[in-house]
Chains A and B, each alone.
Chain A
């Protein structure tokens, strides 16, 4: 049955859901979109960050968002180390092409998954905060606060990353290495160090993203598998490397998913998302906001 109230609800919830998708995809937008690293372990790092947030919340009572900020420096260092390992074992030897690079990150993802299981067991974990479990009531509409938090944080994170990449020296260097690594080398800069730094940034962002993940829903060690398709879909649809594009693409995906879930039937939701991705790639192979190479 169709009603405008229901449609309005679906659009509002879709925008909020889309912002959450953007927040969990931004790191991948840097790692895969800008650096061309097939980082399929991105959602596993995300889940790892969620568990770190869980520990800080459960044992020390720290707010999940603050906990996400606190773990950011550690994730940055983890990102630096992960890229160095990838570079030394694969990229340096020229064996990063095709499935081999993907296999490396799949391996990392499985290791993370198993480590989480060994440490925390297989049960779902969640956090507590004043904004979880309550909703903002506007007439008949109720908007979960946790999704409003995701909306605000995703918007803030996108603006911060976009500003960092366009206004700072290091940010511009990262964009440069994404465009032409060899040119950068000819100018005397070390593209590997820049890429390593960028990978660190991509992983550090997961502190806040991981906090949002566990705020929005409980997490379990294998949750990363549910996000591989979704995050890559957002990044590719956005156009590789575009931060604002990532936000817009995620919102489009969220709204489409929400409308389909509400009005047409839940079974169609994943099909619609990926049909949209294929449609965008057919019309604009470089993605919605990507530059034609």
Chain B
């Protein structure tokens, strides 16, 4: 009897152990949740793209350290889109049809994202947007969620032009790059200027690959505008500011900047140094007391260490925390829904407010933020060749929105430059 009990016990233990082992192995062998995206790792947008990717990678590592999503590890599949709109449709087809990814994150920026919108709408796929501007306005896809703080289409231009008007500005000059993102900004700026009864006295779109901006700036100066709204891409922003410094912009200009991409990146800011002084430009996150919290502190501790190794933007304020926030939003949606069902995830994202390190995020029907959290900040007291000055509060004073404001506009522009 004892022998039989012993034998029975051994068999039972073995079977239990085997079952437990199999279950653990099965869990361990569960395929990872694949998140696919393209990212600008080369080309004009690469400075931002690589920082954004690092932000998403930090989220991946954090979520995997907590046990993953639905008990599965999270894996990122990322291809370089060379900052080009012509690359992304093929890459995303490959992600879906060959790599069989579970969730799609959009590439960084408007231009590479725009051609994807018809495809994701046609296939009924969730797409977590990454700092595009108004790519969904004409497509109307109800499963698009942009992580950028832009909010309503005109809020970006409106906040800048209102600051200019309050400073006494009556006329507007628009200088924009001749491509999707900048033209979207220019369109809204024209509408807002019209609504605010401010005539547009100069309105030019310069072609990509413009090398020298002296001639354009000379023409702009001759128009004698009070407010100069610039919508430029990273390679051009530095050229424009350099030309402004050499050619001048006129004493009547009250406010200059608005939509210059590039002036958010550490290396560009370090290179331009004192040329930045006085420029009022959009931003998304800044180390001002009104924006720092425990989440961003922990995030930037990790980011700063990894950015050196990855040779990406040493500051990473502009994009990286929002890449992390995309992951946080997905994480909350997957946990709430309990599956990867794209329609259910989209419904959850649309109907709820999400807690992220960059603050609470909720979406309107078009997948953009319900309320704009885009900053307009003025560069002050910037010296040449010093990256660390941008880590301290006060070098970029927040003028808008009111609840995050850390100072008032210094105007006119020439006075603010000193």
Show the binding face of A for B, using Cβ within 8 Å. 1, 3, 5-6, 9-10, 13-14, 17, 20, 113-114, 117, 120-126, 128, 133-135, 142, 144-145, 147, 216-218, 220-223, 225-226, 257-258, 261-263, 265-267, 269-270
How far is it, in angstroms, between the C-alpha of A79 and the C-alpha of B294 when the chains are bound?
55
How far is it, in angstroms, between the C-alpha of A113 and the C-alpha of B83 when the chains are bound?
14
Q: How far is the CB of A212 from chain B (nearest CB, A)?
A: 11
How far is it, in angstroms, between the C-alpha of A121 and the C-alpha of B235 when the chains are bound?
15
Known: A13-B215, A142-B248, A221-B42. 15 other contacts (CB 8 A): A9-B218, A13-B214, A120-B311, A121-B312, A122-B46, A126-B271, A135-B246, A144-B247, A218-B235, A220-B44, A222-B44, A226-B211, A266-B206, A269-B206, A270-B207
Which residues of B lie under 8 Å from residue A218 when comparing CB positions?
235, 238-239, 268, 271
Q: Name which residue of chain B comes closest to A5, CB basis.
A: B222
How far is it, in angstroms, between the C-alpha of A194 and the C-alpha of B385 when the chains are bound?
46
Which residues of A lie under 8 Å from residue B267 when comparing CB positions?
121, 123-125
Contact (Cβ within 8 A) A126 B218: no
Q: Is B242 an interface residue (CB 8 A)?
A: yes
How far is it, in angstroms, between the C-alpha of A218 and the C-alpha of B265 when the chains are bound?
14
Contact (Cβ within 8 A) B212 A217: yes
Which residues of A lie under 8 Å from residue B313 when comparing CB positions?
123
* Chain B stretch 192-235: residues in CB contact (< 8 A) with chain A: 204-207, 209-212, 214-216, 218-219, 222-223, 234-235
Contact (Cβ within 8 A) B247 A135: yes
How far is it, in angstroms, between the C-alpha of A120 and the C-alpha of B267 when the chains are bound?
11
Which residues of A lie under 8 Å from residue B266 when comparing CB positions?
123
Which residues of A lie under 8 Å from residue B384 when comparing CB positions?
128
Identify which of A6, A144, A147, A222 contacts B222 (C-beta below 8 A): A6
Main DSSP-derived SS at the A contact region: helix
Contact (Cβ within 8 A) A262 B46: no
Which residues of A lie under 8 Å from residue B204 when comparing CB positions?
265-267
Which residues of B lie under 8 Å from residue A263 when comparing CB positions?
219
Contact (Cβ within 8 A) A269 B207: yes
Contact (Cβ within 8 A) A6 B218: yes
How far is it, in angstroms, between the C-alpha of A13 and the C-alpha of B212 when the chains are bound?
10
Q: How far is the CB of A166 from chain B (nearest CB, A)?
A: 31
Contact (Cβ within 8 A) B222 A1: yes
Contact (Cβ within 8 A) B243 A222: no
Contact with A along B22-52 (1 / 0, CB 8 A): 0000000000000000000111101100100
How far is it, in angstroms, between the C-alpha of A74 and the C-alpha of B312 when the chains are bound?
29
Q: How far is the CB of B320 from chain A (nearest CB, A)?
A: 15
Q: How far is the CB of B39 from chain A (nearest CB, A)?
A: 11
Which residues of A lie under 8 Å from residue B248 when comparing CB positions?
142
Q: Is B288 an interface residue (CB 8 A)?
A: no
Contact (Cβ within 8 A) A261 B206: yes
List of 4 A-B pairs having minimum Cβ-Cβ separation, nearest first:
A123-B267, A122-B46, A266-B206, A121-B311
Q: How far is the CB of B173 from chain A (nearest CB, A)?
A: 13
Identify which of B211, B262, B312 contacts A217 (C-beta below 8 A): B211
Q: A13-B214, A133-B246, A267-B178 are in contact. Are A126 and B238 (CB under 8 A)?
A: yes
Contact (Cβ within 8 A) A122 B215: no
Q: How far is the CB of A131 from chain B (nearest CB, A)?
A: 11
Which residues of B lie under 8 Å from residue A266 when comparing CB positions?
178, 204-207, 210, 216
Identify which of B214, B235, B238, B311 contacts A144 (C-beta below 8 A): B214
Contact (Cβ within 8 A) A122 B47: yes
Q: How far is the CB of A195 from chain B (nearest CB, A)?
A: 31
Which residues of A lie under 8 Å from residue B137 when comparing CB positions?
none
Which residues of B lie under 8 Å from residue A142 when comparing CB positions?
246-248
Q: How far is the CB of A270 from chain B (nearest CB, A)?
A: 5
How far is it, in angstroms, between the C-alpha of A225 and the C-alpha of B42 when the chains are bound?
12
Q: Name which residue of chain A comes closest to B265, CB basis.
A: A123
Identify which of B207, B212, B218, B271 contacts A216 (C-beta below 8 A): B212
Contact (Cβ within 8 A) B222 A133: no
Contact (Cβ within 8 A) B216 A133: no
How far is it, in angstroms, between the C-alpha of A218 and the C-alpha of B241 when the chains are bound?
12
Which residues of B lie under 8 Å from residue A257 when comparing CB positions?
215
Identify which of A125, A134, A270 contacts B271 (C-beta below 8 A): A125
Which residues of A lie under 8 Å from residue B43 when comparing CB positions?
122, 222
Q: Is B245 an interface residue (CB 8 A)?
A: yes
Q: A122-B41, A263-B219 are in contact. Are A144 and B209 (CB under 8 A)?
A: no
Which residues of A lie under 8 Å from residue B312 when comparing CB positions?
121
Contact (Cβ within 8 A) B246 A144: yes
Contact (Cβ within 8 A) A261 B215: yes
Q: Name which residue of chain B comes closest to A260, CB basis.
A: B215
Contact (Cβ within 8 A) A261 B219: yes
Contact (Cβ within 8 A) B209 A270: yes
Contact (Cβ within 8 A) B216 A262: yes
Identify which of A121, A134, A262, A270 contacts B218 (C-beta below 8 A): A262
Contact (Cβ within 8 A) B246 A267: no
Identify which of B206, B219, B238, B265 contacts A267 (C-beta below 8 A): B206
Q: Is B409 an interface residue (CB 8 A)?
A: no
Which residues of B lie under 8 Å from residue A123 when comparing CB positions?
47, 265-268, 313
